Structure 1
Amino acid sequence: MKREELKEQNRRRILQAATELMIQQGIAHTSIKEVSEKSGISFVTMYKYFDSKEALAEEVVYDFQKKHLDQLLEDVTDKDLSFKEMIRVFEKNQQELEELLGPEGFEEFRVFGQKSERIAAYFKEMQKQLVTMLIMAGRVSGVIHTKASNDSILMFVSWLMEYIENRHEELTEDQMADIESLFMYGLVGKGEHKNI
């Protein structure tokens, strides 16, 4: 086996072991020693591939996010889904991630992803693509009929998502319903209001 192939194989073994451990027990509770033992790559050799646990965790979270977001994009692309069907696909994807990682792991991966410029940039680009597809599906189905441009809607959604992500406590169901209502109908509310 060529040297470069061996290096890539070792790198993949380390990442696979780290991913399995970090999904099972979280990033904070996974040690480099455990990854070394699980991967069969010596502790010293591992540092040739990743110079710190943070660098390894960043790669794990990036690969994990990329795999799941790429799959989500594939699930909603070229399938002629309605607005509601697309929302259901997004919700299902979120539920699957939360079930796989557990509530604490999900939060830990999310926070770690926000701290990494690389992961945050990738997530932002994917979010833009997915929300744009959602807007287009909403316009086609008639759910979104505002005169506001797609760019303006995208900007508003980005602000809203950033606000929700940066909150220190979770939103209640009532708050989520209020935000959904504000998003769909604005401050005026549902229906026509001629007295404004």
Structure 2
Amino acid sequence: MGDTPTIKRRGLLLVLSSPSGAGKTTIARRLIDADPDISMSVSVTTRKPRPGEVDGRDYNFIEADAFKRMADENELIEWAQVFGNLYGTPRTPVEAAIERGQDVLFDIDWQGAQQLSEKMKHDVVRVFILPPSADSLEQRLRSRAQDPDDVVRRRMDAAADEISHWPEYDYVIVNSDLPTSMEGLTAILAAERLRRDRLNGLTAFVREMQSHL
């Protein structure tokens, strides 16, 4: 049996969105750890780092005037204001990654997902993560033990609006069990990588095969 051929493909942009506390960040980190062919998009943000976050790994933490300059000069492929802070995705590293066949994972909200879909709709795969219930969502938010009560209340209030955008996504995962959610996401990623329109080396591969038939 011969070696499995390598067919050049274009990378994809895998978007994970959810209300805060539904578990998308945990899912994203599990996927990054398990799959060397996908990397995390590192956003720029004007908010302050949370305990344990590292500048350049979790986010690039910048001042508001620097963020505004990047937005004005079209250096951000998407950006949004969330809970009074600005978040955005630098354009250049994302475009370079998908050109070389590297997938990029985005942990962003519905506003960012809409912007990505408008600008690069053929490259985007959108997955919405739902909590199993409203009670479990509130419990997860409170268990973080780093957000004060008023922030938890604001996030619960915002969850209804965030969840209302689920029909805009290609796939929905109810995160009641982490291993099952990971299995679902892995299956989605595997299928999307095999889409014919992403395999930009497929035509040459088939022609080469036909020439030997």
**Aligning the two structures, in what range does the TM-score lie when normalised by the shorter sequence?**
under 0.3
Q: Which structure carries more relative contact order (alpha carbon 8 Å, separation 6+)?
A: 2
Q: TM-score, normalised by structure 2?
A: 0.24
With structure 1 as the length reference, what TM-score do the two structures score? Answer: 0.25
Query: Which of the two has greater helix per residue?
Result: 1
